[in-house]
Structure 1
Amino acid sequence: MTPITPRRALLGAAMSAPLAAPALFRGGKAGAQTVRALRFGHVQPPDGEVNRGINRAAEALREFSGGRMRLDNFPASQLGGEREMLTQVSSGTLDLCITGPGVLGSWVRPISILEAPFVGRDFAHKLKMFEHPAVQASFRQLAESRNMRPLDPFYYGTRHMTTRDKAIRVPEDLRGLKMRVPEAPLFLDMMRAFGAAPTPMSLGEVYLSLQTGVIDGQENPLPTIAANKFMEVQRFINLTGHILVPLVPVISNSAWTAMPEADREIFRRAMREGIKLSDDLVISAENRLRDEFASRGSQIIESDRPAFQRALTAMYARYEDVWGRGVLAQLNAL
């Protein structure tokens, strides 16, 4: 599944709505020049594709602003787990973090549709979903009720399951297994529908939990599995391909309103540079990692994806009231 290369102003409508917020920016002096400093916290590992993209965005921001703006990057859960950092962004004590729509759905529930299982033919299709009026309305609600604004998404990859002792070919194979999921209601409901025992935890806790047997498996895109070295403590890669993932950076209202419009455009341009690098790295990694994992002794399992999709029929029906009647069908038809 390949994301499109051109980036459009996907979230322009959601980002343009005026909101009252204090114009605060942490910064210092660079000679006689005031430097606007933005702090970006996230859970991705230092060598991961997303972190490398954020580093590129920081370089581009310094370049495009002539040194007037700076992006300070804090990877690997240095500032807390995803939910902790979202709370910090909401309160304005952290400028930016990045997370999936499933986690944002804990704050504004309809946003979770963007990370729903088996929704989206490819990433180009997923990007079109971001422009849908119902999705834009959810992003405006996030800005108004939680004081954070979404930016254009990164391509995170397609999620697959890994397990220690048992191959997963059909949902019934998951029965009773303790599977790590992000701290998001949609993921909990998905794993329950498959018959597993979902165990929510931050990404930084997963390796040790796999190693010590606290959990039996986890699910993530192949590049994330590689960057976090999960296959050192997992035997099977089960190609369920159950979710095509956008990661959404969010910026606090206070940081956003502190920037003049010209600086916002510089910031958007810099982020697009980082997004392109990260997306390209993820695509490249997905294209090579299956064979690399197999060459290192991992067992690659071709899971029955239609069986997993059928297992979610009742869950989709329940979520119609969360996402809005008919919205899922409309997004699939784009």
Structure 2
Amino acid sequence: MKRIHRTAAAAAVVLPLGVLAACDSGGGEEPSGGDVELTLAHSYTEDQPQHTCGAEVIKQEAEAADVGLTVEIYANSQLGGDADRIASVQSGDIDLDLQGASALAAVYEPAGVLDAAYGFDDAEHLTRFFTDGSADQLVQDFKDASGGVSILGAWSAGARHFTANTAIREPADLEGLRMRFPGSGQYLLNAQALGAQATDVAYEELYLALQQGVVDGQENPLTNIDATNLVEVQDVLSLSGHQQNSNLIVAAPTYDTELDDAQRAALDDAVAAAVAQMPGCVAEAEKKILDGWRESDAIEIVDDVDTTAFAAQTDAWFRENLEGDSLAVYEAMRDSAS
């Protein structure tokens, strides 16, 4: 975070907040509320909902509050990949970031459980988990483990679904298929719980791996499937909705120490506004994608997946195989289901 001070000649001098704090004569006092420029980073393109309805809304709402906040957005992993950026948030070099739960697991492993298959019933359930108090213990434990990084809110960027060259309607249909899953811990646990044979392929190499038959299928949100043109190399989309693609808005430790009350409140309200808009924005984008595929017959769409059978299988697996704080997070997720 950077605070902008102007001289009598109106020349702007920008210094890191930590330097300014050290120069304050009343160390430990409430910040005085000077102008603050925040960096907001994420890994998505500028036409994806995470940017248009997420990052852009946070910027607009925070600046419109007129409490001295400006927000500079860095999309497309301009400030590094997820693992690099969460380290930069911890150090205060990045002020705000959009991160998936599995990336946060590198800091505090139980946070990855937020990406558990069928852990959330739907996008509304994920949002409610973070607004009704159910996530309070997880948020505090993450803050303690990360050295003061705050989770300001969360949303689903869409459910993840299966594609393959055959329909996947029930767990048995995954048998014998080499399914690409991301290589992070919780995704590999999801593969086991779902009964899938997981194969690790880089996201950037997925199209070619499917085209060449290195893997038989994969799972991703509709917006990712569309962005990478996977319908060109897959015959069937099975709407399993087996995982909510989580985004968490995290803030550097200086959120607590270098923003005044009005600025923190404005930032919290800005995040809440983005969280409220995201479900409708994602739903609109997904409807447009599905309608386009149906109209063009780009891919067969299977919408009668036995999600009850999948959910029962994964629930039993996670309750048997998770332990400690990870199990506690999973149980809190399921307990918060409506």
TM-score tier after normalising by the smaller chain length: 0.7 to 0.9
Corresponding residue of 1:317: 320
* 1:21-100 superposed matches below 5 A: 25=2, 31=10, 35-53=35-53, 54-65=55-66, 68-100=68-100
Q: Secondary structure at the match of 1:152?
A: strand
1:213 shift after superposition: 5.5
TM-score for the superposition, normalised by structure 1:
0.78
State how far apart, in whole Å, the 2-side matches of 1:310 and 1:75 are: 38
**Worse overlay, 191-200 or 80-89:** 191-200
**Worse overlay, 76-85 or 101-110:** 101-110
Corresponding residue of 1:153: 154
1:149 shift after superposition: 0.8
1:251 shift after superposition: 0.9
Corresponding residue of 2:335: 331
- CA distance 1:239–1:83, change in 2 (3 Å): same
State how far apart, in whole Å, the 2-side matches of 1:43 and 1:315 are: 29
- Give ranges in structure 2 of 5+ residues lacking alignment: 15-34
Corresponding residue of 1:251: 251
Q: Secondary structure at the match of 2:135?
A: helix
1:248 shift after superposition: 0.9
1:63 shift after superposition: 2.4
- CA distance 1:200–1:300, change in 2 (3 Å): same
Counterpart of 1:129 in structure 2: which amino acid? F
Contact kept, 8 Å, 2:161 with 2:222, in 1: the verdict is yes
Corresponding residue of 1:135: 135
Corresponding residue of 2:192: 192
1:328 shift after superposition: 4.6
Contact kept, 8 Å, 2:167 with 2:302, in 1: the verdict is yes
- CA distance 1:59–1:29, change in 2 (3 Å): farther
- CA distance 1:264–1:288, change in 2 (3 Å): same
State how far apart, in whole Å, the 2-side matches of 1:319 and 1:264 are: 36
Corresponding residue of 2:27: none
- CA distance 1:267–1:87, change in 2 (3 Å): same
1:77 shift after superposition: 2.1
Contact kept, 8 Å, 2:110 with 2:329, in 1: the verdict is no
Contact kept, 8 Å, 1:188 with 1:200, in 2: the verdict is no
1:177 shift after superposition: 4.1
State how far apart, in whole Å, the 1-side matches of 2:115 and 2:329 are: 17
**Which string of whole-angstrom CA distances, capped at 9 and with x for unpartnered residues, describes residues 133-188 of structure 1?**
6631221121122131101112312221223x333233343345443434531211
Contact kept, 8 Å, 2:123 with 2:279, in 1: the verdict is no
State how far apart, in whole Å, the 2-side matches of 1:278 and 1:329 are: 20
Matched residues, percent identical? 26
Corresponding residue of 2:309: 307
Corresponding residue of 2:17: none
Q: After the TM superposition, which parts of structure 1 deviate over 6 Å for at least 4 consecutive aligned residues?
A: none
Counterpart of 2:122 in structure 1: which amino acid? D
> Which protein is bigger by CA-based radius of gyration?
2
- Give ranges in structure 1 of 5+ residues lacking alignment: 1-23
Q: CA RMSD in A?
A: 3.1
1:80 shift after superposition: 2.4
